[in-house]
């Protein structure tokens, strides 16, 4: 599971008012090389919730992303794009869990696949 | 570059996962027939709801593949834990990637991914069955569709509407028993035009692949017509008939 996906996932348990972002518990992290596409990065940049993204990257061992003053002008920097690309698309949570920020309920991630299924009393 | 689709010999399988069949082939044929439009469309995020064996999402990724990274990213969901594992294997066997997630429809994605998905592809559980078979686990979830085969389809359509971007397209496979005209009418009320892009009859079933896209003009027309006549229902059904008689050429935009 990529951090792009983590940034798009929420806990939808009944009664939870803000299920985003999910906290990551990482047991195994893998990296897979992906060719960089600057246009994609420039388009998706404004859709990314930056703080949760930086936190998630740190949890997976990557702490080179800027934390504050993150302006669209950064997208002109090749160095920034390279780091953004790496954190967004190349780092995968392979084994671990995503934790609902309100209830603490854990959604397991096995072989890179998050299990977001809810139990009957959670729907 | 010749367009490729998933190689059936490389599609992984599991006793509890629906294998690619006529319906899957019809959906992939529909996507292939629309491939040139899809490439021009330049989608950024694509999603398959109910990915099963992974045959369709793998084929979509392969047919849109280009020599350099095309910047298209894929998501695939299924409610069946065995299906997501099989999809993941099928993708790997073909050297393509999609983010695979085990969830009901797109439940964990609806908030954050709203309005961001350019292509949604669905081969829903469309077989008419007793209502109590819907939502059972395992392979039954791949086909059990409740009354008129519509129970899950009717839950998917509003989700697709929420997720689709302004330029978003939805490709959905339906059975004649699902009342495709009525589905087009439902979507028309949400501002979508529609067109059947593949029709296939087998001994057992008559399948359609319907493509939906946002059409601001039709929404305005509908509102005007409804205001003039004060009877929206009959107007909607008339418009959906029109779109079925080949009035949907905006898909080549």
- All structural domains of chain A, each given as residue ranges with its CATH number in brackets, are 3-115 (2.20.25.10)
**Dist. CA A107–CA A116, nearest whole Å:** 6
Residue A55 clears pLDDT 60, i.e. is over it: yes
Q: Residue B243's pLDDT is what?
A: 46
Q: Residue B233's pLDDT is what?
A: 47
Q: What is the CATH number of domain B8-252?
A: 3.40.50.150
Residue in B with minimal Cα distance to A48: B112
Q: Residue B229's pLDDT is what?
A: 61
- Percent of chain A topping pLDDT 90: 98
> What DSSP string runs through B73-112?
EEEEEES-HHHHHHHHHHHHHTT---EEEE-STTTTTTTT
In contact, B138 and B16? CB cutoff 8 Å: yes
Using one digit for the tens of pLDDT, what is the confidence trace for B98-153?
A: 999 999 999 999 999 999 999 999 999 999 999 999 988 889 999 999 999 999 99
Domain borders along chain B are 8-252
In contact, A19 and A105? CB cutoff 8 Å: no
Q: Rounded mean pLDDT of A87-115?
A: 98
B200–chain A nearest CA distance, Å: 34
Query: Which of A43, A89, A116 has the CB atom closest to B103's CB atom?
Result: A116
Paired tokens of B47? 């999603």
B114 reaches A (C-beta below 8 A): no
Closest CA to B122 of B41, B30, B16, B244: B30
Query: Which of A1, A8, A40 has the CB atom closest to B113's CB atom?
Result: A8
Secondary element (H or E) of residue A107? strand A106-110
Residue A68 clears pLDDT 60, i.e. is over it: yes
Low-confidence residues of chain B: pLDDT under 70: 1-3, 218-226, 228-253
Paired tokens of B36? 């040139």
B159 reaches A (C-beta below 8 A): no
| Strands laid side by side in the A91-99 sheet | A23-31, A91-99, A106-110, A113-114
Q: Residue B15's pLDDT is what?
A: 95
Which residues in chain A have their CB less than 8 angstroms from residue B81's CB? Answer: 115, 117
Which residues in chain A have their CB less than 8 angstroms from residue B44's CB? Answer: 40, 43-44
Q: Residue A38's pLDDT is what?
A: 95
Q: Residue B149's pLDDT is what?
A: 97
A102 reaches B (C-beta below 8 A): no
Q: What ipTM was reported for this prediction?
A: 0.97
A89: which DSSP letter? Answer: I
Q: Residue A9's pLDDT is what?
A: 98
Angle ∠(B71,B85,A118) on CA atoms, nearest 5:
95
């Amino acid at each position: 599971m990529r951090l792009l996906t983590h940034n798009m996932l929420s806990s939808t348990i009944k009664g939870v008012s803000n299920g985003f972002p999910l906290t990551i518990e990482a047991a195994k992290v893998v990296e897979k090389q992906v060719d960089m596409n600057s246009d994609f990065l420039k388009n998706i940049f404004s859709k990314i919730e930056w703080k949760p993204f930086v936190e998630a990257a740190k949890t997976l061992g990557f702490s080179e992303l800027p934390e504050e003053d993150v302006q669209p002008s950064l997208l002109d920097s090749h160095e920034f794009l390279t780091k953004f690309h790496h954190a967004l698309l190349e780092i995968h949570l392979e084994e671990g869990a995503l934790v609902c920020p309100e209830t603490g309920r854990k959604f397991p991630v096995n072989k890179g696949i998050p299990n977001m299924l809810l139990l009957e009393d959670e729907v | 570059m010749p367009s490729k689709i998933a190689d059936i010999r490389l599609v992984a399988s599991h006793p509890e996962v629906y294998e690619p069949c006529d319906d899957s082939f019809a959906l992939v044929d529909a996507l292939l027939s629309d491939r040139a439009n899809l490439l021009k469309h330049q989608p950024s995020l694509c999603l398959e709801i109910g990915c099963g064996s992974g045959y369709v999402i793998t084929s979509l990724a392969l047919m849109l593949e280009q020599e350099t990274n095309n910047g298209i990213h894929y998501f695939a969901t299924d409610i069946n834990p065995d299906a997501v594992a099989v999809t993941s294997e099928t993708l790997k066997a073909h050297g393509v990637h999609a983010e695979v997630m085990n969830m009901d429809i797109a439940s964990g994605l609806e908030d954050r991914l709203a309005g961001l998905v350019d292509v949604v592809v669905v081969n829903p559980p469309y077989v008419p069955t007793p209502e109590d078979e819907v939502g059972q686990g395992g392979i039954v979830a791949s086909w059990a569709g409740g009354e008129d085969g519509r129970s899950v389809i009717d839950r998917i359509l509003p989700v697709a509407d929420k997720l689709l971007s302004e330029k978003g397209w939805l490709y959905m496979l339906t059975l004649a028993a699902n009342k495709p005209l009525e589905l087009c009418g439902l979507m028309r009320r949400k501002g979508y035009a529609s067109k059947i892009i593949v029709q296939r009859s087998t001994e057992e079933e008559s399948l359609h692949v319907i493509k939906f896209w946002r059409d601001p003009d039709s929404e305005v027309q509908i509102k005007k017509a409804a205001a003039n006549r004060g009877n929206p229902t009959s107007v909607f059904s008339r418009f959906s008939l029109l779109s079925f008689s080949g009035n949907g050429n905006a898909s080549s935009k």
